[in-house]
Amino acid sequence: MLNASLSPSSTELVINVLTMVLNEGKPLDRAYSHHFSGLKLAPSEQARITTVAGDLLRRLNLYCYLADMAPADIERLGSRLLNAWHMFHGLELPKLPYTLTIEQNDFDQRLAQAKLDLPLFDGCPEWLDELGTAQMGSLWPAERAALAMAPQRFLRTNLLKCQPEELQQKLAREGVQTQRVDGVDTALQVISDSALFRTDSFKAGLFEQQDAGSQQVAAAVNAKPGMRVIDACAGAGGKTLSIAAQMQGKGRLLAMDVEQWKLDSLKQRARRGGAHNIETRLIASSKTIKRLKLTADRVLLDVPCSGLGVLKRNPDAKWRDTPERLPVLVQLQKDILQSYSRMVKVDGILIYATCSIMPQENRQQVDAFLAANPHFSFMDDETISVAESGFDGFYLARMQRITE
Ligand SMILES: C[S@@+](CC[C@H](N)C(=O)[O-])C[C@H]1O[C@@H](n2cnc3c(N)ncnc32)[C@H](O)[C@@H]1O
């Protein structure tokens, strides 16, 4: 984790970030940009701060238990939480001018107790543990433990501009150390703490930051030059850009979403990446979809989902989300599948994907869709397990349209 304690100013920054997330309900990335802007932090110090804040959020209930406090008390008792974190990791306490300490005996007893309660030890809220157990049974404990680990940093090589070996060498010259990733040809894992977005390689569009699991999902689209491809829930285009590279800039790639600001950001990224065959279109009503009936060789539906496969990266979501949100998302996924699948032409392929590992959003959705739509035939599916891959968790299924 860290090899030395946080400085007092970094400790205070972590407390301020957590206060914004836990008491004001702000997303973690917004809390980082709010607190980091205007500060001239070295990339390595920034990395230390995000490491600690991220880990605290991944196992918030465990650290709060060790510090004998509730998460809502962060503003008042933040120094105690940070002391508990340092004690847990065997580090000296940060040297804050005012600090609330914890008796070593109390800490040891609480830690021994927490080790007997595995969901608590893995930082899992009760509702999520119940859901995971009900949905995944014996597979859940390993996923739960893996979701408590720090995420790794991955890049996707932009094959429109360079090859992975070339990118690796260029980045090394800019002080960024990387290594290849088994089984994911376009991916490089970043193994140094370097800032990525200030590099010339990034500015020249040679890579995007993208989890290796997400790259695997995009690879499953298997788009060819000259095809007509629709990415119907494109967001800011993480997968659209991978698909554009598969198409080598030839053919038509339509990126759609219900949020214009995401499509605007996609356009900017596409320009930087030299992906010139992408057209964006806002989904204003069901007519936008109807007009594209039976037109696409590939349709990717990377649907809105619970995001329960990507909690390593978005640990704040665990403490904001509630189980009530899931049925609403499941219905939306079902509606999107039913309606947007009309855009696939005969012999074309529909790719359904989520960043969830819960069968209710994944295979069960696909089975229900196939039962109601016999003109589609199942090809294959895959759950990218957080525990097995070390990547974020995803699901993808491929179905082919047989007849109109
Ligand atoms: C999982 S995210 C997509 C991530 C994106 N494909 C990527 O790889 O970066 C799901 C997207 O679906 C969009 N969305 C939500 N409701 C939608 C709908 N009814 N039709 C199309 N897109 C929708 C959201 O705005 C969001 O951008």
Does 243 contact ligand 1 (Cβ within 6 A)?
A: no
Cβ of 283 closer than 6 Å to ligand 1, yes or no, is: yes
Instruction: Determine the pLDDT at residue 322.
Output: 87
369's enclosing H/E stretch is: helix 363-372
Of 214, 231, 233, 298, the residue with max ligand 1 atoms within 8 A of its CB, to mutate for a pocket test, comes to: 233
300 CA: nearest ligand 1 atom: 6
Query: Residues 58-69: what's their mean pLDDT?
Result: 97
Q: What is the average pLDDT across 196-203?
A: 94
Q: Give 84-143 pLDDT, tens digit per residue.
A: 999 999 999 999 988 888 999 999 999 999 999 999 999 999 999 999 999 999 999 999
Residues in the chain: 404
Please report the pLDDT score of residue 245 as a whole number: 97
What is the structure's pLDDT at 193? 84
For residues 230 and 256, what is the distance between their CA atoms, to the nearest angstrom? 8
Mean residue pLDDT across the chain: 96
Identify the band that residue 73 occupies on the pLDDT scale cut at 50, 70 and 90.
very high
Q: Determine whether the annotation assigns residue 257 to a binding site.
A: yes
Distance CA 167, CA 152 (A): 18
Phi, psi values for residue 43, rounded to 5°: -50, -35
- How many angstroms from the chain centroid is the CA of residue 57? 15
Q: Rounded CA gap, 392 and 312, in Å? A: 7
pLDDT over threshold 90, residue 168: yes
pLDDT, position 176: 96
Arithmetic mean of pLDDT, 147-176: 97
State the pLDDT at residue 3: 87
Q: Measure the CA–CA gap between 324 and 327, rounded to whole angstroms.
A: 7
User: In the chain, what are the domains?
Assistant: 8-123 (1.10.940), 153-209 (3.30.70.1170), 213-401 (3.40.50.150)
Pick the more confident residue, 3 or 85.
85
- Report CA-CA distances (Å) from 176 to 50, 158, 167: 18, 17, 10
> Is residue 302 part of an annotated ligand binding site?
yes
Question: Per DSSP, what are the bridge partners of residue 300?
Answer: 231, 351
- What is the separation, in whole angstroms, between the first and last Cα of the chain? 55
Q: Exposed, middle or buried by CB within 10 Å (0-12, 13-18, 19+), for 154?
A: buried
For residue range 355-384, list pLDDT tens digits in order.
999 999 999 999 999 999 999 999 999 999
**C-beta neighbour count of 305 within 10 angstroms:** 24
Pocket flag, ligand 1, residue 281 (CB < 6 Å) = no
> Which atom of ligand 1 lies closest to the CA of 305?
1
The token pair at 185 is: 């040809």
CA–centroid distance, residue 292 to ligand 1 (Å): 18
Can you tell me the distance from the alpha carbon of 72 to that of 399, in angstroms, rounded to the nearest whole number?
46
Instruction: Give the confidence band of 190 by pLDDT, cuts at 50, 70, 90.
Output: very high
Cβ proximity of 320 and 272 under 8 Å: no
Cα 236 to averaged position of ligand 1 atoms, centre (Å): 9
| Per-residue model confidence as pLDDT tens digits over 278-332 | 999 999 999 999 999 999 999 999 999 999 999 999 999 999 888 899 999 999 9
71 C-beta closer than 6 A to ligand 1: no
In terms of phi and psi (left: phi > 0; alpha: psi -120 to 50; beta: otherwise), the region of 249 is left
Distance CA 20, CA 304 (A): 25
Q: Give ∠ CA 114-115-119 in degrees, rounded to 5.
A: 75
Q: Is 234 in the pocket of ligand 1 (CB under 6 A)?
A: yes
User: How much is the ipTM here?
Assistant: 0.99
Question: How far is Cα 403 from Cα 377, in angstroms, rounded to an integer?
Answer: 10
Long-range contacts of 87-91 (CB under 8 A, 24+ apart): 88/63, 89/1, 89/2, 91/2, 91/4, 91/5
CA distances from 31 to 13, 261, 363 (A): 10, 20, 35
Pinpoint the alpha helices (H) of 25-163.
28-36, 43-58, 60-67, 74-88, 104-115, 118-121, 126-136, 140-146
**Beta-bridge mates of residue 398:** 351, 380
Q: Which residue's CA is the closest to the ligand 1 atom numbered 17? A: 258
Write phi, then psi, for 251 (nearest 5 degrees): 105, -175
Residue 98: predicted pLDDT: 84
Cα separation, 89 vs 85, whole angstroms: 6
Name, in order, each residue with C-beta under 8 angstroms of 51's C-beta and a sequence gap of 6 or more: 1, 2, 150
What does the pLDDT read at residue 99? Answer: 86
- pLDDT for res 132: 97
Closest among 78, 101, 86 to 48, alpha carbons compared: 86
Residues that are catalytic? 355
Helix spans in 283-324 (H): 286-290, 317-320
pLDDT of residue 1: 80
Instruction: Name the residue with tokens 């979403």.
Output: 257
Asked if residues 156 and 240 have their Cβ atoms less than 8 Å apart, the reply is no
Split at pLDDT 50, 70, 90, the class of 42 is confident
In whole angstroms, what separates CA 32 from the centre of its chain?
17
Establish whether residue 302 lines the binding site of ligand 1, counting it when its CB lies within 6 angstroms of any ligand atom: yes
